[in-house]
Structure 1
Amino acid sequence: MSEDITLTENTGALQGKTIFITGASRGIGRAIALKCAADGANIAIAAKSAEPHPKLPGTIFSVAEEVEAAGGKALPMQVDVREEDQVAGALKKTADTFGGIDGVINNAGAINLTSVEATSPKRYDLMMDINARGVYLTAHLAMPYLKQSASGHILSLSPPINLEPRWLGPFAPYALSKYGMTILSMGLAEELRESNISVATLWPQTIVATAAIEFAVGSREMFDQSRKPGVMADAAYEILSTSDKSLSGVQLIDETLLRARGVDDFSQYAHNPAKAGELMVDLFLDP
């Protein structure tokens, strides 16, 4: 659990609530699942990893055990967010099992930091399908359930829109897929303005020690410049616990939100506390 350290206190706001999380078998998704579980939430673990991977620890079943141990109820389901029938079936099973759905977190993602010339059509389609289309599909299919909640949430892990050329030129395909998530979320917030569903995005101020950093962005050495997934879990918990829709339509940064909620010491979130002053600002954010 040291990798998932959280600093904010659980308030019980999610007791009995049902949260559907894509990509929850490891990393940030897993950390959010455990944070919400500690509040007594029901967690639908919707991810592709049903079998152990030699380089990537964690499966839907191992996280389910951790969720139960943390105090929540777990429903592990193998789901590919590109497949409509799988997403629809998982959402229905979640609602049937727990009596409804109160929050959907679009955490599953695909990353490839390559230029247009260097990105194959297959890789481009993968990023667009999992990132941008995944938000559309999950929100589209979850909306009937969320409208039955007293305080529904759709939260997508995507960055604020930043059109500076330095963020577009090196890896426009990935940027397009992530900005697509944000634009869809902004549109959903407006579409659902009169509903009981809040829609927001969340992005880390610094890079977070996950498999994406180790294998897709750089190497494990970059963990020394990273924070633990718990910082995003704490921020997501604050969002899910906010019932007045004051955050709907907002592109949130984890550190900014947590500071506004009273956190002022972020050193314990550092993957390597000795390097806490040398953290790397995440993609799409200007220093």
Structure 2
Amino acid sequence: MNDTQTANSGALEGKTVFITGASRGIGRAIALKCAHDGANIVIAAKSAEPHPKLPGTIFSVAEEVEAAGGKALPLQVDVRDEEQVRAALEKAAQTFGGIDAVVNNAGAISLTSVEATPPKRYDLMQDINSRAVYLTAHLALPYLREAANPHILSLSPPINLQPKWLGPFAPYALSKFGMTILSMGMAEEFREAGIAVNTLWPQTIVATAAIEFAVGGRELFEQSRKPPVMADAAYEVLSSDARALTGQQLIDEAVLKQAGVTDFRGYAHNPDNADKLAIDLFLDE
């Protein structure tokens, strides 16, 4: 078993997965992982035009999804805009006949204190992180209720209220913990409907644009894993029985170990540093 094939291979064939922020990074990796199963991938992101520093658009990922064996629907969506999200979900359901899973991957980050966070940046993080989890779930619910094995998966951390995580960047922590609190609440709210709601967070830093530009620079990649580690873990969650796995604050490494993965060296950005990786934010070990 490796980072491209796990025990549940084929479980998402013909399923429709709506992924926010899927034009690059972890969202793109999840899209391609599900596409290998023959899933229908809705690439819901803002990036319709190439960025000079950030490769990837909804259209380039759509091409990759099709090449990987999936069907793609690229949609330019700002997750802060109710009408854009509503229209994207409607288009997805019309195109593919329904929606089976929603992955809340779009995110905004600023590791700044209350004093150092401008109001616009604060609002951006709350809107793109926690509010978008509410909004996508609220609007996707009618479609998920009709699905055979529906999932909502949000990329947010386990709740950890230690001062060392709150003091330096409380605004960001609030936005990410808000995603998790909403997810835990929705898991109970939607339990009888059979809709699984879980969160997923990386054990180690993952090499993405957020790390390069908002956290510590590209040198941190040497202590990071690549996005497929989160994609493979997300796949395991999305292909699980929705009534059996819900209300959990999951960590990628633990999910993959449970699925039988024993060798994680291939996930490391630099395999020579596979034993020297940095633990991600909000985790104590």
TM-score range for the pair, normalised by the shorter chain length: over 0.9
Q: TM-score, normalised by structure 1?
A: 0.97
The structure 2 residue matched to 1:38, chosen from 36, 39, 42, is 36
Q: 1:6 Cα shift?
A: 3.4
Q: What letter matches 2:53 in structure 1?
A: K
TM alignment of 1:10-89, pairs within 5 A: 11-89=9-87
Structure 2 Cα separation of the partners of residues 23 and 57 of structure 1: 13
Q: What letter matches 1:286 in structure 2?
A: D
Structure 2 Cα separation of the partners of residues 174 and 246 of structure 1: 31
Runs of 4+ residues over 4 Å off in structure 1: none
Structure 2 Cα separation of the partners of residues 242 and 195 of structure 1: 16
Structure 2 Cα separation of the partners of residues 244 and 153 of structure 1: 6
Q: What letter matches 1:118 in structure 2?
A: A
Q: Which range moved further: 239-248 or 272-281?
A: 239-248
Query: Which SS does the other structure have where 2:181 is aligned?
Result: helix
TM alignment of 1:70-219, pairs within 5 A: 70-219=68-217
Q: How many residues align?
A: 283
Preserved CA contact (<8 Å) 1:149 1:196:
no
Gaps of 5+ in 2: none
Identity, % of aligned positions: 77
Query: Which SS does the other structure have where 1:284 is aligned?
Result: coil
**Residues 259, 47 of structure 1: CA spacing in aligned structure 2 closer, same or farther, 3 A cutoff?**
same
Within the alignment, does 1:231 sit opposite 2:229 as a pair? yes
Query: Which SS does the other structure have where 1:209 is aligned?
Result: coil
Q: What letter matches 1:116 in structure 2?
A: V
Structure 1 Cα separation of the partners of residues 121 and 90 of structure 2: 30
Q: What letter matches 2:191 in structure 1?
A: R
Q: 1:211 Cα shift?
A: 0.2
Gaps of 5+ in 1: none
Aligned to 1:255: 253
Structure 2 Cα separation of the partners of residues 36 and 147 of structure 1: 21
Aligned to 2:220: 222
Q: What letter matches 2:258 in structure 1?
A: A
Q: 1:243 Cα shift?
A: 1.7
Q: What letter matches 1:90 in structure 2?
A: A
RMSD value, Cα: 0.9
Preserved CA contact (<8 Å) 2:45 2:77:
yes
Q: For each residue in 1:49-75, what CA deviation from the matched residue of structure 2 results, as whole angstroms up to 9, or x when unmatched?
A: 000000000000000000000000000
